Structure 1
Amino acid sequence: MNDSSQSARPLSVVLAGGGTAGHIEPALAVAEALRKAQPGIRVTALGTERGLETRLVPERGVDLSLIPAVPVPRKINKDLFTFPFRLVGALNRTRRVLKDLDADVVIGFGGYVSGPAYLAAKWAKVPTVVHEANARTGMANRLGARLGARVLEAVKGSGLKGAEVVGIPVRQSLLELDRAALRGQAREFFGLDPDAPVLLVTGGSQGAASINDAVSGAARTLGDAGIGVLHAYGRKNSVHVDQVDGAPAYVAVPYIDRMDLALAAADMVLCRSGAMTVAEISSCGLPAVYVPLPHGNGEQELNARPVVEAGGGVIVKDAELDPGRVAREVVPLLRDAERLAAAGEAARGAGHRDAADRIATVVIETARRK
Structure 2
Amino acid sequence: MKVLLSGGGTGGHIYPALALMREMKKQYPDTEFLYIGTERGLESTIVPDNGVPFKAIEIQGFRRSFSMDNLKTIGKFIKSTSDAKKIIKDFQPDVVLGTGGYVCGPVVYAASRLGIPAVIHEQNSVAGLTNKFLAPFVKKIAICFEEAADQFGRHKEKVVFTGNPRAQEVVHVRKNSALKEYGLNPDIPTVLMFGGSRGAQKINDTFVDSYAELKTKPYQVLFVSGKLHYESLLSRLDGTSENVKVVPYISNMPEVFAGVSLIVSRSGATTLAEMTALGLPSILIPSVNVTDDHQTKNALSLADKGAAKMITEKELTREVFIEELDRLMQNPSERAAMAEKAKRAGVPDAADRLIDLMTDLTE
> Does the alignment reach a TM-score above 0.5?
yes
* SS at 2:35 equivalent: strand
The counterpart of 2:277, out of the listed 263, 283, 290, is: 283
Report whether the alignment pairs 1:343 with 2:351.
no
Distance 1:202 1:363 in 2: 34
Within 5 Å, give how 1:293-312 maps onto structure 2. Answer: 293-295=287-289, 296-312=291-307
CA contact (8 A) 1:71 1:112 kept: yes
The counterpart of 1:175, out of the listed 163, 171, 180, is: 171
Distance 1:331 1:43 in 2: 47
Which sits farther off after the overlay, 83-92 or 207-216? 83-92
Deviation at 1:253, TM superposition (A): 2.0
Aligned length: 352
Which sits farther off after the overlay, 308-317 or 114-123? 308-317
* SS at 2:116 equivalent: coil
CA contact (8 A) 1:222 1:331 kept: no
Match of 2:350 in 1: 355
Match of 1:327 in 2: 322
Distance 1:198 1:216 in 2: 18
CA contact (8 A) 2:118 2:140 kept: yes
Match of 2:38 in 1: 48
Match of 1:5 in 2: none
* SS at 1:136 equivalent: coil
CA contact (8 A) 1:226 1:248 kept: no
CA contact (8 A) 1:232 1:252 kept: yes
Deviations 1:169-227 (A, max 9, x none): 21544111112xx1x2x122111234332111111122111111112212222222222
Match of 1:274 in 2: 268
Distance 1:71 1:359 in 2: 27
Give the residue type in structure 2 aligned to 1:332: R
CA contact (8 A) 1:50 1:69 kept: no
Give the residue type in structure 2 aligned to 1:336: N
The counterpart of 1:106, out of the listed 84, 91, 96, is: 96
Deviation at 1:272, TM superposition (A): 0.7
Distance 1:367 1:291 in 2: 41
Give the residue type in structure 1 aligned to 2:228: K
Report whether the alignment pairs 1:68 with 2:64.
no
The runs of 5 or more residues in structure 2 that have no matched partner are none
* SS at 1:293 equivalent: coil
Which sits farther off after the overlay, 269-278 or 335-344? 335-344
Task: Please report the RMSD computed on the Cα atoms of aligned residues, expressed in angstroms.
Answer: 2.0
CA contact (8 A) 1:28 1:171 kept: no
Match of 1:211 in 2: 203
Distance 1:41 1:275 in 2: 27
Match of 1:225 in 2: 217
Which sits farther off after the overlay, 32-41 or 282-291? 32-41
CA contact (8 A) 1:269 1:286 kept: yes
CA contact (8 A) 1:48 1:54 kept: yes
CA contact (8 A) 2:120 2:138 kept: no
Q: 1:77 to 1:297 in 2, by over 3 A?
A: closer
Match of 1:255 in 2: 249
Distance 1:61 1:367 in 2: 25
Give the residue type in structure 2 aligned to 1:292: P
Deviations 1:263-291 (A, max 9, x none): 23421111111111111122122211001
Match of 2:75 in 1: 85
Deviation at 1:78, TM superposition (A): 6.0
* SS at 1:170 equivalent: helix
Q: 1:166 to 1:119 in 2, by over 3 A?
A: same
Deviation at 1:314, TM superposition (A): 0.5
Give the residue type in structure 1 aligned to 2:253: M
CA contact (8 A) 1:16 1:45 kept: yes
Which sits farther off after the overlay, 254-263 or 130-139? 254-263
Deviation at 1:143, TM superposition (A): 1.6
CA contact (8 A) 2:254 2:274 kept: no
* SS at 1:106 equivalent: strand
Deviations 1:125-171 (A, max 9, x none): 11111111111111111121122431121122311222122222215
Distance 1:61 1:345 in 2: 36
Distance 1:250 1:134 in 2: 32
- Structure 2 length-normalised TM: 0.90
Report whether the alignment pairs 1:23 with 2:13.
yes
Deviation at 1:96, TM superposition (A): 1.1
Give the residue type in structure 1 aligned to 2:313: D
CA contact (8 A) 2:37 2:43 kept: yes
The counterpart of 1:189, out of the listed 161, 165, 181, is: 181
CA contact (8 A) 1:243 1:250 kept: no
Distance 1:363 1:223 in 2: 50
- Structure 1 length-normalised TM: 0.89
* SS at 1:230 equivalent: strand
Give the residue type in structure 2 aligned to 1:232: V
Report whether the alignment pairs 1:132 with 2:126.
no
Distance 1:261 1:134 in 2: 24
Match of 2:160 in 1: 164
Deviation at 1:76, TM superposition (A): 5.7
